[in-house]
Amino acid sequence: MKFATLSDGGAQNQLLIVSRDLRHAAGASPIACTLLDALERWDEVAPSLQARYDALNAGRVPEARPFEPSACAAPLPRSPQWCDASAFLNHGRLMEQAFNTPPIPEFDTVPVMYQGASDDFLGPASDVPMPDEADGIDFEGEFGVIVGHVPMGISASEAVQRIRLIVQLNDWSLRAFGPREMKTGFGFLQAKPSTSFAAVAVTPDELGEHWRDGRVHLSLHVEWNDRWFGHPHGREMNFGFGELIAHAARTRRLSAGTIVGSGTVSNVSRDAGSACIAERRVIEMIDEGSARTSFMRFGDRVRMTARDDVGHAPFGTIDQRVVLAPRAGAEEPQS
């Protein structure tokens, strides 16, 4: 199944069922009003959602309308919890060099993860407000999963079975804050503004052969200001999503709707390019002696699309522009 959330500018965004080819959509009510509602009652509502999805694909839903990703919020505009990992070790090792930090203990055997803000996710076409270009504005292309209820102490093999949906996301970063916040030992706060998501969340079966071993086997194509930036592949993820979920649930239960991210998609081969600017900069430092690529400026655009070998894009595209955030006290748009 494929789902999206139609933004209405408020808290009660409407859940949509989206056709397999992303051409049409129909409301999911009265089965479930929101995606979080569906996730919390998954075993109860999944059969009815599947039946409506099948009918939509067969052209048997009269009220179906053309699907407009630009009118969508994030699939989950707000989530009970957002846990982001660094499961592509090539990226992590490069970042250690970028921030001049000592090697992380047990980096190869214990996933690295932080808990980010989950109350203000951005949709695929939303402008991205940032306070200052001097903060080092950077994009980070990732994959993620949304889980059902996960008990504490679950095994990695059992955790994979708790994955309900797969998503594509852009975990924005402000690089100027990263080194200081990492050295505190408390993790990221100011370095991590609101995260953006592609419009469509998909059940694992929709990816077919491109979902295996708890990994998304798709290339993530990234363009910055209409120029190619990278197309790293998800197969090089060192920890699968089952391991990441089990790590997050080692000492706590995970509520239905918790999102777990892969961290920046990164490949060893330089030919794959990068999914974030910081990685390109450190590669330039290693290969050429200094970083030449600057971070983003207001008005810059970034596009991210996960594609298979024949060009199918199951999540749609994130296409966003960085803008100056409104001054404190000014009215801000609702996400």
Question: Looking at the DSSP assignment, which residues form a beta bridge with residue 6?
Answer: 14, 72
Question: In this structure, which CATH number among 3.90.850.10, 3.40.470.10, 3.10.20.600, 3.20.20.70 belongs to the domain 74-324?
Answer: 3.90.850.10
Is the torsion defined by CA of 269, 273, 279, 284 positive or negative? positive
DSSP letter at 196? E
Which is it for strands 211-212 and 215-216: parallel, antiparallel or unpaired?
antiparallel
Give pLDDT, residue 117: 93
3-state secondary structure of 115: strand
Type and span of the H or E element at 283: helix 277-288
Query: What integer is the mean pLDDT of 150-154?
Result: 98
Q: How far apart are CA 95 and CA 297, in angstroms?
A: 22
In this model, does residue 333 exceed pLDDT 60?
no
pLDDT, tens digit, for every residue of 6-42? 997 655 689 999 999 999 999 999 999 999 999 999 9
Q: How far apart are CA 167 and CA 14, in angstroms?
A: 18
Range of weakest confidence among 74-78, 270-274, 281-285, 313-317: 281-285
Which residue has tokens 């491109």? 210
Exposed, middle or buried: residue 285 (CB in 10 Å: 0-12, 13-18, 19+)? middle
Confidence label for 270 from pLDDT (cuts 50, 70 and 90): very high
Number of H helices, E strands in the chain: 7, 20
Q: How far apart are CA 289 and CA 268, in angstroms?
A: 19
| CATH 3.90.850.10 placement within the chain | 74-324
In this model, does residue 193 exceed pLDDT 80?
yes
* Mean pLDDT, rounded, of the chain: 94
pLDDT, tens digit, for every residue of 62-100? 999 999 999 999 999 999 999 999 999 998 888 777 667
Model-level pTM greater than 0.85? Answer: yes
Q: CA 134 → CA 137, 151, 324, distances in Å?
A: 8, 42, 12
Closest CA to 27 of 55, 63, 66: 63
Query: What integer is the mean pLDDT of 228-236?
Result: 98
Residue 241: CB atoms within 10 Å? 29
Give pLDDT, residue 26: 98
In this model, does residue 192 exceed pLDDT 80?
yes
Query: What integer is the mean pLDDT of 111-135?
Result: 96
